[in-house]
Amino acid sequence: MSTAKPVFRYPVPELKDLPDDVREKILAVQEKAGFVPNVFIALARRPDEFRAFFAYHDALMLKEGGSLSKADREMIVTATSAKNGCLYCVVAHGALLRIYAKNPLVADQVAINHYKADITPRQRAMLDFAIKVCLGSASVGDADYEALRAHGFDDEDIWDIAAITAFFGMSNRIANATSMRPNDEFYLMGRLPR
Amino acid sequence: MSTAKPVFRYPVPELKDLPDDVREKILAVQEKAGFVPNVFIALARRPDEFRAFFAYHDALMLKEGGSLSKADREMIVTATSAKNGCLYCVVAHGALLRIYAKNPLVADQVAINHYKADITPRQRAMLDFAIKVCLGSASVGDADYEALRAHGFDDEDIWDIAAITAFFGMSNRIANATSMRPNDEFYLMGRLPR
Amino acid sequence: MSTAKPVFRYPVPELKDLPDDVREKILAVQEKAGFVPNVFIALARRPDEFRAFFAYHDALMLKEGGSLSKADREMIVTATSAKNGCLYCVVAHGALLRIYAKNPLVADQVAINHYKADITPRQRAMLDFAIKVCLGSASVGDADYEALRAHGFDDEDIWDIAAITAFFGMSNRIANATSMRPNDEFYLMGRLPR
Amino acid sequence: MSTAKPVFRYPVPELKDLPDDVREKILAVQEKAGFVPNVFIALARRPDEFRAFFAYHDALMLKEGGSLSKADREMIVTATSAKNGCLYCVVAHGALLRIYAKNPLVADQVAINHYKADITPRQRAMLDFAIKVCLGSASVGDADYEALRAHGFDDEDIWDIAAITAFFGMSNRIANATSMRPNDEFYLMGRLPR
Amino acid sequence: MSTAKPVFRYPVPELKDLPDDVREKILAVQEKAGFVPNVFIALARRPDEFRAFFAYHDALMLKEGGSLSKADREMIVTATSAKNGCLYCVVAHGALLRIYAKNPLVADQVAINHYKADITPRQRAMLDFAIKVCLGSASVGDADYEALRAHGFDDEDIWDIAAITAFFGMSNRIANATSMRPNDEFYLMGRLPR
Amino acid sequence: MSTAKPVFRYPVPELKDLPDDVREKILAVQEKAGFVPNVFIALARRPDEFRAFFAYHDALMLKEGGSLSKADREMIVTATSAKNGCLYCVVAHGALLRIYAKNPLVADQVAINHYKADITPRQRAMLDFAIKVCLGSASVGDADYEALRAHGFDDEDIWDIAAITAFFGMSNRIANATSMRPNDEFYLMGRLPR
């Protein structure tokens, strides 16, 4: 798990010293992605938090059903993480957004200015709501729910949007507070035609 | 689980319909507290999120070791939840803060203005950092770590402060987006001499 | 007038050294409340300001007529003082709000997030306007007046809301700049059934 | 008291209908200034508030002693009223500032950008503090007092600065909420050599 | 080109050392205005930037056609420069606004609070848009164009409003960063009846 | 000059209808870059503004001398344009930054969070200042100059940083107000090893 650039400002554990379940999850993601995203290495030094973090992540991002596509979910993460100035999440989830959306441009667009992005009115409404949850959740209320229902989102979808925004708001703050670096591999992912 | 006032804006599940582990955790908290805090009922409608949420919560709030007392942890939650305008968390965790700190005044103080609260300089530094993580995590850096180390916090403590702030920042957004109500019982807890 | 905790960051006068009218007003409030709220002691060191402050206070808060109840007036004070981070006013006027409204929960609710408080739509509109006067008075205009008239407020009521907000905006700044402490007695007032 | 342009958005009283003391104060200011500033006419429709307002005003602005000159006091009003977007107070008190300071330029300077104004370092520190009381009083503390003492202000002067800022913060909000117009006469006062 | 007060924080060039075209433009403005506005002297030390700045300025401010009057253009500059805290531009262009509008009051009004200024609803809409471009251009969109068209502005006018705001946003930042002083002559211009 | 996606919200001119100098500049950039960046097409519909814009641009960005490298200049543009939410400038100048810096990662880093970017302390100070000029130029003063001089910037360099920030602040506002799209070609430029 050595790397030329630091994973984050804390020391990182040796793979062999990790609990089996944590190590296995890391090896599985490495197998699938070809590298280990730094968030796995960073959180592994606290196995209980690692387990809860990824359990929550998977419950929200790998959820079956609902009307949010995988690309929609990553779009929420990319747009709101940019509002929080989280380099790790914008770069890592922007990569996933490009891949799921099969669109090499959309991640940069929603990260910088979702009003100018090539997205549908439905996605625009989804991001308007997510950004409100991100920056001013205190005043979320009936009118926000109505605005989303007008685009075909049901209340479970709305929960999903809010919860994804909230979860990554947590992730953004942990990454920022610990100076977590996005792996270099993420920057180019999904930018080239396949 | 019926209540005169709504738990939040979503329908709540019947206790009997919940998975065993979820139901048991709810019954355990009821046994201990004398009532079921609404966050348990609210999240129970999504068991996977319930499990991950409380696993994360317990990893951070029930953690052994480190120099943060239980009162310190609840103080972080109360102060930062107020910045996010989260009624549920300020009321519920303010109650816990009063109890753990054996101080009936401190929760209202840190919720409204931590600069004027009867807290130690060390707690003041802890809250200054937590509030920065809450409101402007993008610029957290070396100087912030140094400021905390000067008060005797080590880097694991700093992780704890950041992670608690981040976790409840998530909780605040979910509670705000779903209009989660604090149970009436919380408001008076810890205010009367025992 | 000695106290274990300081009234504020300035020295406080001896009761015997005060002008008669100031001393009498202090003794009268002590008689009625059972203690002397610190704002009386603090301002007494400048008798002319003391007299003007309480004359203004009484003109706004003890005014006969109009459609604002005593609870409405204290609700405005509590909600806007929280926006200004004024511990003294939130704690002291929150106590009065609980008493006048005969509601042990509402003060904490409007202090933390008036959107989630158990208040009427009319009170919600009243607080929306008060908070706008508090935080962004420059753009108050016809539309704000119309919104309040739709809830049955007449222009004199609107003046009252604006003037109460403005007066306590002054009070908040003086209390914050002088680190005025709320008396311990306020915290529990109105929280217990009578 | 008729005027081509409205005094503010409320009806104004006839001079003959006012209580004697209110009318006399108005006639006195007219005698001295050559016209009646609109704030006198506006507040006269509520005599108790009129009396308290001007008693407070005079206690702060006509106070004997202390190290704040009349120009300093008006400078505080002009700079902080600009932050609140209060046209009435910037125009009216800017006029007084020009006259007391015998400086036709300084009012526009401190209203637009006090950092670029032709003022002394002591006045700069005074305005820095006043603007903090105006915009963020919650965090005023020891360091702010120290910064002012370094420029020779004692604690009574600091109270004066804070109280003047607070009082006109009230006045700004009332003027904004009622659309109070500055009299045309103020705009040119103090701009021409005498 | 000597002056008792500094032009800005950089040294200023001698008139004789300037390129002919720059010197001629300066002499022409001096001939017309009776003095040389400091922005000409300041930028002259970088002739290429001088030429581009005034070419852009003239393209926007001296443009023929369109429905924006010269007073409208200067009103945009005055109102938005105040939002940026640019003393130079508010004072210099406020003077031009007073002259073109033949109105000695309007510059102070739009600089402090355009909501309370004696302007037409059309000018109010124009300034609302300009201020949005100044402070939050990221979200400018169709609704903003519609709002202006409702007041008779066509898309070329809207370009003009946006471009003037943008150009002086640049000018404001250069003036602020270099502490450019407005010439004393500007303060009184257009305030006296002719 | 036809394109599947709109250049911006205004109609675009035919190349043949443009003045010779404008057309030649466009053809020259097409020759060099392989495509015509949309800003050239957009501004060409107003030739005088086109000429002034690019004259200013070239004076700042192609300037000889000084200690700012071409990469430094583009880094300022990328970081401050992100603060203004300008998709066009972040994407187009981020591409140039990657190329000049021979670094495929740095543009995304400074756009999202310059505190976490792989840049030198000197570049960090440069961006701190540029962002202050971008977001709060009113308070730029001596301390800011001192901070930059400590990193070896002289006053001409500081002018360059401020002027580049100011110029692109203008460009950002024009691009946002007109919904100017970055050409698709920019997104991938400089991301692949050569």
Residue type at position F98: R
How far apart are alpha carbons F97 and F99 in whole angstroms? 5
CB-based contact F139:E128 (threshold 8 Å) = no
Distances (CA, A) of E103 to A122, A139, D184, D185, E184: 48, 42, 11, 14, 20
- Sequence-distant (6+) residues with CB within 8 A of C137 are C166, D84, D85, D86, D172, D173, D176, D177
The whole-number pLDDT of residue B193 equals 77
Chain A CB contacts of B173 under 8 Å are 133-134, 137, 162, 165-166, 169
> Is F112 close to A179, i.e. CB distance below 8 A?
no
Chain E CB contacts of A115 under 8 Å are 138-139, 141
Among all residues of chain B, which has the CA nearest to that of C80? B112
Q: Which of C90, C108, C176 sits opposite B187 (nearest CB)?
A: C108
pLDDT at C109 exceeding the cut of 90: yes
How far apart are alpha carbons E98 and A60 in whole angstroms? 60
Q: Give E44 to chain F, closest Cα distance, Å.
A: 13
How many residue pairs bridge chain B and chain D with CB atoms within 8 Å of each other?
4
CB-based contact F110:F73 (threshold 8 Å) = no
Among all residues of chain F, which has the CA nearest to that of D110? F138
Q: Which two tokens stand for residue E177?
A: 């960063």
Question: ipTM above 0.90?
Answer: yes
Q: Give A34 to chain B, closest Cα distance, Å.
A: 27
Q: What is the pLDDT of residues C133-170, one digit of tens each?
A: 999 999 999 999 999 999 999 999 999 999 999 999 99
Among all residues of chain F, which has the CA nearest to that of D112? F138
Among all residues of chain A, which has the CA nearest to that of F80? A112
Angle at E147 between CA E142 and CA E150, to 5 degrees: 125
The whole-number pLDDT of residue C1 equals 41
How many residue pairs bridge chain C and chain E with CB atoms within 8 Å of each other?
4
Chain E CB contacts of D82 under 8 Å are 112
Q: What is the pLDDT of residues E113-170, one digit of tens each?
A: 999 999 999 999 999 999 999 999 999 999 999 999 999 999 999 999 999 999 999 9
How far apart are alpha carbons B51 and B42 in whole angstroms? 12
- Chains in contact with D, where contact requires at least 3 CB pairs less than 8 Å apart: B, C, E, F
Q: Give the residue carrying structure tokens 């960073």.
A: A42
Q: What is the pLDDT of residues E60-74, one digit of tens each?
A: 999 988 999 999 999
- Chains in contact with E, where contact requires at least 3 CB pairs less than 8 Å apart: A, C, D, F
Distances (CA, A) of E56 to E96, E168, F9, F59: 18, 10, 22, 13
How far apart are alpha carbons F17 and F26 in whole angstroms? 13
Q: Which of F86, F140, F174 sits opposite E176 (nearest CB)?
A: F140
Q: Give C162 to chain A, closest Cα distance, Å.
A: 22
How far apart are alpha carbons D168 and D86 in whole angstroms? 10
Q: What is the pLDDT of residues C3-58, one digit of tens each?
A: 468 999 999 999 999 999 999 999 999 999 999 999 999 999 999 999 999 999 99
CB atoms within 10 A of CB F61: 20
CB-based contact F84:F134 (threshold 8 Å) = yes
- Chains in contact with F, where contact requires at least 3 CB pairs less than 8 Å apart: A, B, D, E
Q: At what angle do helices D155-177 and D47-61 cross, to 10 degrees?
A: 150
Q: What is the pLDDT of residues F38-59, one digit of tens each?
A: 999 999 999 999 999 999 999 9
- Sequence-distant (6+) residues with CB within 8 A of D182 are D38, D87, D88, D90, D91, D92
> Is F113 close to A192, i.e. CB distance below 8 A?
no
The whole-number pLDDT of residue D45 equals 96
How far apart are alpha carbons A183 and A174 in whole angstroms? 16
The whole-number pLDDT of residue A2 equals 44
Among all residues of chain C, which has the CA nearest to that of E115? C139
Q: How far is CA F32 from the centre of its chain?
A: 17
Q: What is the pLDDT of residues F148-190, one digit of tens each?
A: 999 999 999 999 999 999 999 999 999 999 999 999 999 999 9
Q: Give the residue carrying structure tokens 């001096």.
A: E30
- Chains in contact with A, where contact requires at least 3 CB pairs less than 8 Å apart: B, C, E, F
Maximum Cα–Cα distance across chain D: 52
Q: Which segments of D3-42 are extended strands (E)?
A: none
Question: Which of A137, A158, A179 should one mutate to test binding to chain B, selecting the residue with the greatest count of B CBs within 10 A?
Answer: A137
Q: What is the pLDDT of residues D36-77, one digit of tens each?
A: 999 999 999 999 999 999 999 999 999 988 999 999 999 999
Q: Which segments of chain B are extended strands (E)?
A: none
Q: Which two tokens stand for residue F73?
A: 């200049």
Overall residue count recorded for chain E in this entry = 194
The whole-number pLDDT of residue A4 equals 67
The torsion angles phi and psi of B24, rounded to 5 degrees, stand at -65, -40
Q: Which two tokens stand for residue D55?
A: 């008693």
pLDDT at E1 exceeding the cut of 50: no
How many residue pairs bridge chain A and chain C with CB atoms within 8 Å of each other?
4
Angle at C129 between CA C125 and CA C132, to 5 degrees: 140
Among all residues of chain A, which has the CA nearest to that of F8? A116
pLDDT at D4 exceeding the cut of 90: no
Chain B CB contacts of A9 under 8 Å are 145
Chain C CB contacts of D50 under 8 Å are none
Q: Give E56 to chain D, closest Cα distance, Å.
A: 25
In this complex, whether F and A touch, counting 3 or more CB pairs under 8 angstroms, is yes
CA nearest to A58, candidates B18, B173, B48: B48
Chain C CB contacts of E121 under 8 Å are none
Among all residues of chain B, which has the CA nearest to that of F128? B139
Q: Give E142 to chain C, closest Cα distance, Å.
A: 23
Among all residues of chain A, which has the CA nearest to that of F180? A116
Q: At what angle do helices C47-61 and C155-177 cross, to 10 degrees?
A: 150
Q: What is the pLDDT of residues A7-27, one digit of tens each?
A: 999 999 999 999 999 999 999
The whole-number pLDDT of residue C92 equals 98
Handedness of CA E64, E67, E72, E77 (dihedral sign): negative
CB-based contact E72:E157 (threshold 8 Å) = no
CB-based contact A63:B49 (threshold 8 Å) = no
Question: Which of D86, D116, D172 should one mutate to test binding to chain E, selecting the residue with the greatest count of E CBs within 10 A?
Answer: D116
Chain D CB contacts of F138 under 8 Å are 113, 115
DSSP assignment string, E140-170: --HHHHHHHHTTT--HHHHHHHHHHHHHHHH
The whole-number pLDDT of residue C193 equals 77
How far apart are alpha carbons B109 and E113 in whole angstroms? 36
Chain D CB contacts of F141 under 8 Å are 115
Among all residues of chain D, which has the CA nearest to that of B113? D138
How far apart are alpha carbons B30 and B38 in whole angstroms? 11
Chain D CB contacts of B113 under 8 Å are 138
For chain A, what is the total number of helices (H) and then of strands (E)?
9, 0
- Sequence-distant (6+) residues with CB within 8 A of E98 are E104, E106, E107, E189, E190, E191
- Sequence-distant (6+) residues with CB within 8 A of F22 are F44, F47, F50, F51
pLDDT at D3 exceeding the cut of 60: no
Q: Which two tokens stand for residue A134?
A: 């991100």
In this complex, whether F and C touch, counting 3 or more CB pairs under 8 angstroms, is no
CB atoms within 10 A of CB E75: 32
Q: Which of F56, F137, F171 sits opposite E172 (nearest CB)?
A: F137
CB atoms within 10 A of CB B36: 20
CB-based contact E126:E72 (threshold 8 Å) = yes
> Is E192 close to D187, i.e. CB distance below 8 A?
no
**Under an 8 Å CB criterion, which residues of A touch C?**
138-139, 141
- Sequence-distant (6+) residues with CB within 8 A of F77 are F89, F93, F96, F97, F164, F168
> Is B174 close to A162, i.e. CB distance below 8 A?
yes
Please give the average pLDDT of every successive group of 10 residues along chain B, which has 194 residues.
77 96 97 97 98 98 94 98 98 98 98 98 98 98 98 98 98 98 97 84
How far apart are alpha carbons F51 and F30 in whole angstroms? 17
**Under an 8 Å CB criterion, which residues of F touch E?**
9-10, 46, 48-49, 51-53, 55-56, 58-60, 84-86, 133-134, 137-141, 145, 155, 158-159, 162-163, 165-167, 169-174, 176-179
Q: Give C177 to chain D, closest Cα distance, Å.
A: 6
